[in-house]
């Protein structure tokens, strides 16, 4: 839903292998005291922005890892069958951990499907989307409609607040339809989320207690995966924009069935109140999972615009004026969900690298250098 791991699953089905290349790391760098552990074996030679990299998970589909405000913990979603899961649930980790031989604590209910968890400023609670009020079972996951890839937009998603023991302490939305994809402003005052309460998938903001809901976008198309800039003044998000009568009918018919196609999306940027909205990318294919660079002057995002058959997805940097597009990762399958730590020193992201030719998508933390 920025997205619940469906796009990962799509890419995984399409992928036959995921090869990584070893980089040569000087012995003295290996001995540095750092968040990273061990020598670099997961970085492609061209990936100049990664000083070190560390793998966090080792199986299943793991994504959307978001940092606590003090950068000491992360919360992420996983559907790892080895952890007894049938669909995405939320897990908590300390930054120094990895989960090769253990399971992290689950902090969602274990019922329904969850998506898009994000820490609140107190570091003791988080917001997330869940379908559990409709039932304890995982809702079905359609991947194709008329031969095309689709994402489900479950009308049973609502946004909740929970503590780090998994206890739900508040329900922030109760409108009919889809409410999910919540993230929090670095200013600590607002939440942005996606809802179809207007009849279309638009962006909204609200206070941390769910009050003062305001609609931010109103153009036809799927607006989602929004994040605030480091100073809280801007929003970056991905959107589809059907234009022709055929495109509009296709979009509206799918939405009526609770579905969207994720294959044609561009990035848009606006002020936090929705003003000064403009399109940032014009690349074609799927451009999504954007996140602001710590400087606030660039966007890091995932795209397959260079791909002919749907993959690979790699990470790219682009200036806020749409100039100076630069490729950051050089994988052969899938890199997405980039999220900088609050201090700007580290980047968490999801990748198919080092998965032994399986369909697993794992979490990684890279030490960022410029």
The pLDDT mean for the chain works out to 90
Q: Which of 9-13, 129-133, 134-138 has the lowest mean pLDDT?
A: 9-13
The alpha carbon dihedral of 246, 248, 250, 252 has a sign of negative
Task: Give the number of other Cβ atoms within 10 Å of residue 219's Cβ.
Answer: 13
Confidence of residue 41 (pLDDT cuts 50, 70, 90): low
| 314 touches 302 (CB < 8 A) | yes
Rounded CA gap, 27 and 285, in Å? Answer: 41
Confidence of residue 173 (pLDDT cuts 50, 70, 90): very high
Percent of the chain with pLDDT over 90: 83
pLDDT for the residue numbered 33: 34
Does residue 66 carry a pLDDT above 60? yes
**349 assigned to some structural domain:** yes
Reported as a single tens digit per residue, the pLDDT across 220-244 is 999 999 999 999 999 999 999 999 9
Residue 341 DSSP label: -
Of the candidates 362, 298, 368, 309, which has an alpha carbon nearest to the alpha carbon of residue 55?
Answer: 362
Does residue 35 carry a pLDDT above 70? no
Percent of the chain with pLDDT over 70: 89
Interior angle at CA 229, CA 261 and CA 220, nearest 5: 30
Q: Who has greater pLDDT, 145 or 214?
A: 214
pLDDT for the residue numbered 251: 97
**348 assigned to some structural domain:** yes
Task: Give the number of other Cβ atoms within 10 Å of residue 63's Cβ.
Answer: 28
> In the structure, how many helices (H) and strands (E) does the chain have?
3, 27
Of the candidates 328, 294, 299, 324, which has an alpha carbon nearest to the alpha carbon of residue 313?
Answer: 328
Interior angle at CA 68, CA 67 and CA 70, nearest 5: 115
Q: Which of 56-65, 140-149, 196-205 has the lowest mean pLDDT?
A: 140-149
Q: How many domains does the chain have?
A: 1
Task: Give the number of other Cβ atoms within 10 Å of residue 213's Cβ.
Answer: 16
**Residues 6 or more apart in contact with residue 362 via CB below 8 angstroms:** 55, 56, 57, 58, 59, 62, 350, 351, 352, 353, 354, 355
Residue-number span of the structural domain to which 118 is assigned = 6-368
**345 assigned to some structural domain:** yes
**1 assigned to some structural domain:** no
**331 assigned to some structural domain:** yes
Q: What is the CATH number of the domain that holds 215?
A: 2.120.10.30
**98 assigned to some structural domain:** yes
Mean pLDDT value across residues 161-165? 98
Q: What is the DSSP string of 6-71?
A: HHHHHHHHH-S----------HHHHTS-SSS-S---S--TT-TTEEEEEE-B-SSBEEEEEE-TTS
> Three-state SS for 74?
strand
Does residue 20 carry a pLDDT above 90? no
**201 assigned to some structural domain:** yes
Rounded CA gap, 225 and 267, in Å? Answer: 10
Q: Which of 16-30, 113-127, 345-359 has the lowest mean pLDDT?
A: 16-30
pLDDT for the residue numbered 344: 97
| 259 touches 153 (CB < 8 A) | yes
Read off the pTM. 0.90
Does residue 206 carry a pLDDT above 80? yes
**346 assigned to some structural domain:** yes
pLDDT for the residue numbered 252: 97
Residue 307 DSSP label: -
pLDDT for the residue numbered 146: 82
pLDDT for the residue numbered 23: 33
Give residue 17's Cα distance to chain centre.
23
Confidence of residue 264 (pLDDT cuts 50, 70, 90): very high
pLDDT for the residue numbered 308: 87
């Amino acid at each position: 839903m920025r997205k619940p791991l469906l796009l990962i699953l799509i890419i995984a089905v399409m992928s036959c292998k995921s090869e990584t290349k070893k980089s040569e790391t000087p012995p003295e760098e290996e001995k540095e005291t750092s968040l990273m552990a061990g020598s670099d074996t997961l970085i492609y030679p061209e990936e100049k922005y990664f000083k070190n990299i560390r793998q966090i998970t080792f199986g299943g589909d793991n994504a959307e890892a978001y940092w606590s405000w003090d950068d000491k913990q992360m919360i992420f979603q996983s559907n790892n069958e080895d952890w007894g899961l049938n669909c995405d649930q939320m897990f908590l980790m300390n930054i120094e951990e990895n989960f090769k031989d253990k399971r992290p604590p689950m902090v969602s209910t274990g019922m329904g499907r969850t998506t898009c968890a994000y820490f609140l400023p107190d570091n003791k609670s988080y917001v997330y989307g869940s379908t559990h009020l409709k039932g304890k079972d995982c809702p079905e996951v359609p991947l194709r409609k008329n031969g095309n890839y689709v994402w489900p937009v479950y009308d049973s998603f609502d946004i909740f607040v929970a503590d780090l023991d998994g206890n739900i302490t508040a329900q922030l939305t109760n409108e009919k339809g889809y409410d999910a994809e919540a993230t929090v402003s670095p200013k600590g005052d607002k939440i942005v989320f996606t809802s179809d309460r207007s009849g279309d998938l638009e962006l909204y903001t609200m206070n941390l207690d769910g009050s003062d809901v305001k609609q931010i976008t109103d153009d036809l198309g799927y607006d989602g995966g929004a994040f605030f800039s480091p100073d809280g003044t801007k929003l970056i998000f991905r959107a589809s924009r059907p234009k022709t009568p055929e495109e509009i009918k296709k979009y509206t018919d799918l939405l009526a069935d609770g579905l969207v196609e994720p294959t044609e999306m561009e990035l848009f940027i606006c002020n936090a109140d929705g003003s000064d909205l403009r399109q940032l990318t014009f690349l074609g294919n799927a451009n999504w999972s954007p996140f602001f660079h710590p400087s606030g002057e660039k966007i890091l995002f995932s795209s397959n615009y260079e791909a002919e058959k749907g993959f690979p997805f790699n990470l790219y940097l682009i200036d806020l004026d749409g100039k100076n597009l630069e490729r950051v990762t050089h994988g052969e399958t899938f890199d997405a969900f980039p999220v900088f730590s609050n201090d700007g020193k580290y980047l968490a992201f999801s990748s198919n690298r080092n998965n032994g030719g399986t369909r697993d998508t794992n979490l990684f933390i890279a030490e960022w250098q410029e």
